[in-house]
Amino acid sequence: MATATPATQQIWIVLPGQNSIYATPENGNLLDIARGTQVTWNCRKSFTITLYALHGGTGLPTGPLRSSDCGDGTGNHRFTVTFPDTTYASYIVQASDPESGKLLVLDPWIGVDHH
């Protein structure tokens, strides 16, 4: 019996300058992902991420956790987590603006489908 490949989601943290931060797609919000989905956050600079399980969920790593260099020579950074049995999660990404050096914060949420 073959093992199913886990679903994956990619989120890009974008730092366009002028003390601005956003994420794509949907500004980093994910609705109704399946349990076991691997979510990877990507950014052209290093960042930290803190994950919070909401509504009694468990199993998410605590933080702040630091992204790691992709190792592909681009200088891009990433952080990956597999979503456990949790209903909703919130996360906070912190990264420095490439022009001013000011610390910027993004705080979307993720909903996990239990069906």
The residue assigned the tokens 């420095």 is 96
Q: What is the pLDDT of residue 53?
A: 79
In a domain, 90, yes or no: yes
Closest CA to 89 of 49, 46, 48: 49
CATH classification at residue 22 = 2.60.40
Q: What's the pLDDT tens digit per position in 32-83? A: 777 888 899 999 999 999 988 777 666 777 778 999 999 999 989 999 988 8
Beta-bridged to residue 11, according to DSSP, are 41
Q: Structure tokens of 114? A: 């239990």
- Which residue segment(s) compose the domain that 29 sits in? 8-113
Cβ neighbours, 10 Å, residue 109 = 14
The residue assigned the tokens 């190792």 is 71
How far apart CA 16 and CA 47 sit, in angstroms, is: 15
- Distances 66 to 43, 63, 85, 98, 106 between C-alpha atoms, Å: 12, 8, 23, 17, 15
Q: Which one-letter amino acid corresponds to residue 51?
A: L
Local confidence band at 15 (pLDDT 50, 70, 90 cut-offs): very high
In a domain, 60, yes or no: yes
Alpha helices in the chain (DSSP H): none
Q: Are 7 and 34 in contact (CB under 8 A)?
A: yes
> How many domains does the structure of the chain reveal?
1
Q: What is the pLDDT of residue 86?
A: 62
In a domain, 1, yes or no: no
In a domain, 73, yes or no: yes
